[in-house]
Amino acid sequence: MQVEPVISKGQPTTPPTKRPIAEQIVDQLCSDLPVSFAVRFWDGKTVCYGEDPLFTLVFNKEDAFKRLLLFPDALTAGEAFIKNEIDIEGDIFAALHLKNHFENLNLTIAEKVRIFIRLMGI
């Protein structure tokens, strides 16, 4: 006799997403960005930073988010873009503010370690 799993109404049928962790990291790193933008995570949730976002950074895969934070360089971003793991919708030139922001980000070693530990949960 084969037993079928019982899924009650409203119970998710897919594993829970790690998006809340990623959202907290983006909140921490981009809270003072001078341009309005949005981030759409792999589970479909979009978070806006400011009003009337000029662009949306789209993460189609969880792994792309982790790789871009661990290795924030043009090669990693380019590979993720070509593989359709990330995308930019809207004003691509405004999105360059994000690149400049991360290049000028000065995190302490303790902050980097905390982010790294949180990324391992994704």
Going by C-beta distance under 8 Å and a sequence separation of 6 or more, which residues neighbour residue 107?
A: 115
Predicted confidence (pLDDT) at residue 6 exceeds the cutoff of 50: no
Give the residues across from 46 on adjacent strands: 40
| pLDDT at 69 (0 to 100) | 86
Confidence of residue 65 (pLDDT cuts 50, 70, 90): very high
Q: Tens digits of per-residue pLDDT, 10-54?
A: 444 445 578 899 999 999 888 788 889 999 999 999 999 988 999
- Annotated domain spans of the chain: 19-120
Q: Tens digits of per-residue pLDDT, 73-113?
A: 889 889 999 999 999 999 999 998 888 887 777 778 888 88
Nearest alpha-carbon partner for 37 in 27, 21, 51 = 51
At the topology level, CATH places domain 19-120 in Nonspecific Lipid-transfer Protein; Chain A (3.30.1050)
